[in-house]
Amino acid sequence: MAGRRVVSLVPSLTEAVAVSAPGALVGATDWCTHPAGLDVVRVRGTKNPDVGRIVALAPDLVVANEEENREPDLAALRAAGLEVLVTEVRTLEQAFAELARVLTACGTAARPEWLAAAEAAWRDVRPESRRRAVVPVWRRPWMVLGRETFAGDLLARLGVANVYAAHAERYPRVPLAELHESGAELVVLPDEPYAFGADDGPEAFPAMAAAPVSGRHLTWYGPSLAEAPGVLGAALRAA
């Protein structure tokens, strides 16, 4: 599979492919910010990819995700004759398996060192304590992590018990007043997809400890996974 041409519609997969199969990536979304200085054709966003531009790139493979990309767009790419590999990532184990599958499909000859390092980094993670938390991912309206999310799985391994982990929806809309009455002692505030920060988010939860965290380390599955236990753990301990 030497010389594979790949378009990625998922920022974390873009980073994984770019560092593991140099030269394979020919297109990526406008939201694909890593690795820094990535020089490929941009094909708009994850939810509104430019199908015509992607087809014109004549890729051998398009990599996508069932949560981040819309099925009508993926169907249009398949209808144009392109091979589309769709990942599903809701747990850390799934992330490792799907990353290996994607990289093999992209023509990597060996398991990359960063993937082995990420698996090792998470293998011995043991939470020092356990705290009940709410994890907003959007504001106006408030939306939080619900059931079966990759970010929720990472947080659970770090000692964060998501109050809404058993909710019927994966990303439920929950009124702020209900969040206040949820019994959570901690609010975890990632800086993506909504850009929560020290001055935007904590003030809405005055009775809870607040942990602003790196959204890339919490929600991306790729090279950042090797750093994630240390980065996220430090942010949680500081709250």
- Summarize pLDDT for 110-128 with one digit per residue, the tens: 889 999 999 999 998 988 8
* pTM confidence score: 0.93
Domain containing 54 equals: 6-111
Whether residue 119 lies inside any domain: the answer is no
CA geometry: angle 151, 152, 156, nearest 5 deg: 120
Q: Is 137 exposed, middle or buried (0-12, 13-18, 19+ CB in 10 A)?
A: buried
Q: Would you say residue 40 has pLDDT above 90? A: yes
Residue 235: other Cβ atoms inside 10 A? 19
Q: Would you say residue 12 has pLDDT above 70? A: yes
Domain stops at, among 111, 137, 172: 111
Please tell me whether residues 138 and 74 are part of one structural domain: no
Q: Average pLDDT, stretch 160-183? A: 97
Domain stops at, among 53, 77, 111: 111
The predicted structure's pLDDT at residue 157: 97
Please tell me whether residues 166 and 75 are part of one structural domain: no
Please tell me whether residues 91 and 24 are part of one structural domain: yes
Q: Which residues pair with 64 in a beta bridge?
A: 86
Please tell me whether residues 146 and 97 are part of one structural domain: no
Task: Kindly report the CATH number assigned to the domain that includes residue 40.
Answer: 3.40.50.1980
Number of domains in the chain: 2
What average pLDDT does the structure give for the chain?
Answer: 96
Q: Would you say residue 136 has pLDDT above 70? A: yes
